[in-house]
Amino acid sequence: MNKFCEYQNLLTKTYDEAVDILLQKYGHALDDYYREASYVRFMQGEIKNITKGKYSRTSEGLYCHHIDEIKILKISDQSFIKRDNIPFRHQKRERLIYCDLIEHTILHVLITKETSNEFGLPGYEVYLKPMIIEWYVEETLPKPQWMQKCFKKSFLTPDEAVAIIKEMEEKIGRTTHYHDAESYFEDIRRKEQEADELRREMEERQRIEDELLRKKAVEKAKQLKKEKERVFYSTYPEFKQLSIHPEISRQKIISLLFEYKYSESYKTRKELDSAMKPLIRDKLLSELYEIVCKVNTFE
């Protein structure tokens, strides 16, 4: 049975069956994942990091997988270990197996399926599947030497990689529209095009909404201005014929007061302004209106 067929066969198994197959294929772990004494000290808050055991076989292109990932989330993550108080027994060599990248991904697919997405999916979706796509579909060789060994261990052609991804996706209940590398990239382009069209549609919708909001704001401002003028001229009706508007500035009021009343009392408008500093604008406006009314009456 060639490598690709082995992967297909492994994908048809239950998780427990797949674990047994990999144990027979690669043997038991060489060591515990973490050193027990260090693990205990970490859990007691005596040290910040746990010392790892000598379990690694990346020199052979193999990953180490925790068997109990089917029931514990982020089982090797130190922050989760402390947060969830994960017992050391899950880190012992008896609870570890070896696998290549594709087998590792299949294990996560089986976990995902058997736990109804409760476990397994984050590792598959965020880490493992993207790596298969990058290495074997996009044919990008990883730079670290240990990764290159993993790359060679589970090497697949682009069409084989797409085919196994398709079977894994369908295993967890997803619909796919590709069968080889060419159709995979076509599917990616189609999705990107759909995403671009959706983005443009959303941007256009947002533009229209913004324009409507702008028009509403302009109309509201006009209404507020109209109402302000109505109140202003109902309070100061004589100002209308003099084109004195509600937004008249304090300096303009001072200038008119100087012109109508205070030109003989103060030498300059600036001097009048300084003298009027304690008075608020509305007080000055009322005084100006009284003067205007007297002038109009006199006329």
Does position 297 have pLDDT exceeding 70, yes or no?
no
254 within a domain of the structure (yes/no): yes
Whether 241 and 97 share a structural domain:
no
182 within a domain of the structure (yes/no): no
Does position 211 have pLDDT exceeding 80, yes or no?
yes
pLDDT of residue 175: 86
Whether 226 and 253 share a structural domain:
no
Does position 189 have pLDDT exceeding 90, yes or no?
no
Whether 170 and 224 share a structural domain:
no
114 within a domain of the structure (yes/no): yes
154: its two tokens: 């589970």
pLDDT digits over 11-64, tens only? 999 999 999 999 999 999 999 999 999 999 999 999 999 999 999 999 999 999
Name the pLDDT band for 205 (thresholds 50, 70, 90). Answer: very high
Least confident of 86-90, 259-263, 292-296: 292-296
End-of-domain residue from the set 235, 256, 286: 235
**Angstrom distance (rounded) from CA 4 to CA 17:** 18
pLDDT of residue 181: 80
pLDDT of residue 194: 86
Whether 13 and 128 share a structural domain:
yes
Whether 12 and 153 share a structural domain:
yes
Residues facing residue 97 across a β-bridge: 65
260 within a domain of the structure (yes/no): yes
Name the pLDDT band for 121 (thresholds 50, 70, 90). Answer: very high
Count how many domains the chain has: 3
pLDDT digits over 54-79, tens only? 999 999 999 999 999 999 999 999 99
Whether 13 and 29 share a structural domain:
yes
Whether 30 and 119 share a structural domain:
yes
183 within a domain of the structure (yes/no): no
- Residue of 243, 266, 242 lying closest to 254 (CA atoms): 266
pLDDT of residue 191: 79
pLDDT digits over 251-277, tens only? 999 999 999 899 989 999 999 999 999
pLDDT of residue 63: 97
3-state class (DSSP) for residue 96? strand
pLDDT digits over 133-160, tens only? 999 999 999 999 999 999 999 999 999 9
Cβ of 6: how many Cβ atoms within 10 Å?
14
pLDDT of residue 177: 79
pLDDT of residue 298: 54
What percent of the chain has a predicted confidence (pLDDT) above 90? 84
By residue range, what is the domain housing residue 205?
192-235
End-of-domain residue from the set 235, 267, 286: 235
Does position 108 have pLDDT exceeding 60, yes or no?
yes
For residues 166-173, give the mean pLDDT: 95
Whether 32 and 62 share a structural domain:
yes
What percent of the chain has a predicted confidence (pLDDT) above 70? 98
- Tokens 């193999």 found at: 62
What is the residue-averaged pLDDT of the chain? 93
141 within a domain of the structure (yes/no): yes
End-of-domain residue from the set 176, 208, 223: 176
Whether 60 and 196 share a structural domain:
no
The structure's pTM equals 0.66
pLDDT of residue 45: 95
29 within a domain of the structure (yes/no): yes
- Tokens 């993550």 found at: 77
pLDDT of residue 225: 92
33 within a domain of the structure (yes/no): yes
Whether 198 and 229 share a structural domain:
yes
Whether 49 and 17 share a structural domain:
yes
Whether 117 and 164 share a structural domain:
yes
pLDDT of residue 185: 82
For residues 121-135, give the mean pLDDT: 95
